[in-house]
């Protein structure tokens, strides 16, 4: 590890000013950043410690009836908050399906959003990677591609985004609050992460020095609480990143779907909002035919990036199953193995 400066910020303005210097990075829990530094993948020249900034861990209701999640709110605190889990069950289920309990106790909301890909070629400094060194090439192309992207990838990068938390947040129209040297701004989470194109080194819309201060869920997000699920297929039942995941949420009006929300994980370099599938479900009865049609719409543009064509059919099936579970109703209690495709559904469905 090479030497770096360490700055402990006293306030947001000071943090933003310190991080605007070239080569600077923010430090919160460090569950991703410190690993990358130890492996030589990330080499910041300055770490700006934001862990003691006041107010950034608060989770508060907004005037319009939504929820504001401070950047430093811990994943485990959110997931185990009963009121939060009742209002946003798919988000809680996604949080509990990610990493280990120890990591969830340390990891933060904004850190989860900002985590970098787990592509093995990105993590191996002996491999060519356009994300680490622009123009170096992508050694994943023609390499081990089983877990690589099937949507939105380019010749320059076929990695996927690893977050579980972000997938239901994107489906529920979450917004990212950002502090910058010029003031503050807001960006829909759906637009926050960037597809690789010909510049995979640029992963988000953040400019130098900008800091994620909060995530905000709109009031409308809680309207899906009664029919909302997150489903994740992984190589191990726990402590593994998604091969494919899906967040499905429905708002029913009698026997028909008034509104649907759907997002996929593990398929692209960003959480993938399936808006065509949502449109295909509107006004339909929540049955197997409708869900198969939605799954086809969600994966209509998918193409293998190597030896991973199986992920497309797997994603279709996970979408259909997540919608089926959502239509049945959110369980009163989350499964013992949250988001697992093999977990039994406990208790009766809530109204």
pLDDT tens sequence across 274-323:
999 999 999 999 999 999 999 999 999 999 999 999 999 999 999 999 99
CATH code, 5-52: 3.30.43.10
DSSP lists the bridge partners of residue 24 as 46
Mean pLDDT across 91-96? 96
Backbone angles phi, psi at 292, to 5 degrees: -65, -40
Q: Does position 351 have pLDDT exceeding 70, yes or no?
A: no
> Which residues face 246 on adjacent strands?
231, 264
Residue 1 pLDDT: 65
The confidence band for 335, taking pLDDT boundaries of 50, 70 and 90, is confident
CB neighbour list of residue 39: distance below 8 Å, 6 or more residues apart: 123, 125
Domain 225-328: state its class: alpha beta
Among 164-173, 195-204, 327-336, whose mean pLDDT is lowest? 327-336
- Structural domain spans, the chain: 5-52, 225-328
Distance (Å, whole) CA 11 – CA 34:
23
Rg of the chain on CA atoms, in Å: 20
| Residues near 211 by beta carbon (within 8 Å), at least 6 away in sequence | 12, 15, 16, 19, 26, 50, 71, 178, 179, 180
- Separation between Cα atoms, residue 215 and residue 71, nearest integer Å: 7
Using a 10 angstrom Cβ sphere, with 0-12 exposed, 13-18 middle and 19 or more buried, the burial of residue 1 is: exposed
pTM of the model: 0.96
321: tokens are 């199953």
């Amino acid at each position: 590890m090479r030497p770096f400066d360490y700055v402990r910020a006293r306030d947001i303005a000071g943090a933003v000013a310190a991080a605007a210097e070239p080569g600077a990075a923010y430090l919160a829990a460090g569950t991703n950043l410190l690993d990358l530094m130890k492996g030589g993948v990330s080499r910041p020249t300055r770490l700006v410690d934001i862990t003691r900034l006041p107010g950034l861990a608060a989770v508060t209701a907004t005037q319009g009836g939504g929820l504001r999640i401070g950047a430093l709110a811990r994943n485990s605190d959110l997931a185990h908050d009963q009121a939060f889990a009742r209002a946003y069950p798919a988000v809680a289920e996604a949080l509990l399906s990610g990493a280990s309990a120890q990591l969830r106790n340390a990891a933060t909301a904004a850190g989860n959003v900002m985590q970098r890909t787990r592509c093995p070629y990105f993590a191996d400094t002996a491999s060519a990677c356009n994300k680490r060194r622009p123009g170096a090439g992508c050694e994943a192309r023609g390499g081990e591609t089983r877990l690589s992207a099937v949507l939105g990838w380019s010749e320059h990068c076929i990695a996927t985004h690893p977050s579980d938390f972000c997938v239901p947040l994107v489906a529920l129209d979450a917004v990212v609050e950002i502090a910058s040297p010029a003031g503050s701004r807001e960006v829909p989470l759906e637009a926050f992460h960037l597809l690789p194109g010909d510049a995979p080194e640029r992963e988000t819309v953040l400019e130098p020095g900008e800091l994620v201060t909060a995530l905000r869920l709109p009031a409308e997000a809680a309207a899906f609480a009664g029919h909302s699920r997150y489903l994740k297929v992984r190589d191990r039942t726990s402590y593994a990143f998604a091969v494919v995941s899906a967040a499905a949420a429905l708002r029913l009006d009698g026997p028909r779907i008034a509104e649907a929300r759907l997002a996929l994980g593990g398929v692209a370099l960003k959480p993938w909002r399936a808006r065509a599938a949502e449109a295909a479900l509107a006004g339909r009865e929540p049955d197997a035919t409708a869900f198969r049609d939605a799954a086809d719409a969600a994966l209509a543009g998918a193409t293998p990036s190597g030896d991973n064509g199986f992920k497309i059919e797997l994603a279709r099936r996970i979408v259909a199953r997540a919608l089926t579970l959502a239509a049945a109703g959110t369980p009163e209690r989350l499964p013992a193995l949250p988001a697992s495709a093999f977990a039994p559904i406990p208790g009766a469905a809530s109204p």
